[in-house]
Amino acid sequence: MITLYGTPRSRALRVSWLLEELAIDWQFHFINFAKGDNRSEAFLAMNPCGKVPVIKDDDLVLTESAAICQYLAEKYGQGQFLPTPGTPGAAHYHQWMSYIICELEQPLWTMGKHKFALPEEHRLPAILPTAVWEFNKAAAIAEQWLPDSDYLLGDIPTVADIMLAHTLMWATVFEQQLPPKLAAFRDRMKTRPALIRALEKTEAVAAQAAE
């Protein structure tokens, strides 16, 4: 059985969502940052960065949400959630994946780091307007690229759709305004039953661990 280590609404949500989409048998291990679970010897042995998500699949330990989702789709997807390799669709898929991680997500994480994640002495509030500007610029380009279809590559969702939807959900939490097509895409993806199941499962485990 696959074990996912994380918190419900962090980047681990990308993984729990895909696990539910693929109907894989999995369990959730809540990492309580407030209690220092991410700094324990056992967790740091899996990920020296002390970050989530992490998965264990038999003897494999894997970190980084995009790499984890790619692996899961390749191993368990049976053709789902990935385009056919070597096709124009696959080229656009990889372009979206790179853009989401490098351009859309990074200014959001800059906001997060300088609001709460970094130690206070390393936070620079003056950088926040620049991060907002960077995100708005990246979002405007993504808005131009977004097709009229339900998903990024047509009528069938891929890992890139989950990555984009989660990033846009993060942007909403950080109180960033989204262009209309991106906002509509986010709202469509939020209704997927697999996402709802993933949140219910992980939040129930987290609540039980906090008792």
In whole angstroms, give the CA distance from residue 80 to residue 24.
Answer: 13
Q: What distance, in Å, lies between the first and last C-alpha atoms of the chain?
A: 25
**Yes or no: domain 2-80+194-210 corresponds to CATH 3.40.30.10:** yes
- The tens digit of pLDDT for each residue in 33-60 reads 999 999 999 999 999 999 999 999 999 9
Please report, for residues 15, 77, 137, the alpha-carbon distance to residue 95 in angstroms, rounded to integers and kept in the order given: 20, 21, 17
The answer to whether 185 and 179 have CB atoms below 8 angstroms apart is: no
In whole angstroms, give the CA distance from residue 1 to residue 163.
Answer: 23
What is the structure's pLDDT at 210? 77
Residues of the chain with CATH 3.40.30.10: 2-80+194-210
Spans of the chain, pLDDT less than 50: none
**Yes or no: domain 88-192 corresponds to CATH 3.30.1330.80:** no
Please report, for residues 75, 83, 156, 159, 176, the alpha-carbon distance to residue 89 in angstroms, rounded to integers and kept in the order given: 20, 6, 11, 13, 29
Q: Which residues contact 173 (CB under 8 A, 6 or more apart)?
A: 9
Tokens of 5: 């280590």
What is the structure's pLDDT at 211? 72
Q: Tokens 């967790």 belong to which residue?
A: 43
What is the structure's pLDDT at 209? 86
CA angle 193, 195, 196 (to 5 degrees): 65
Sign of CA dihedral 193, 174, 68, 160: positive
What is the structure's pLDDT at 48? 97
What is the structure's pLDDT at 114? 97
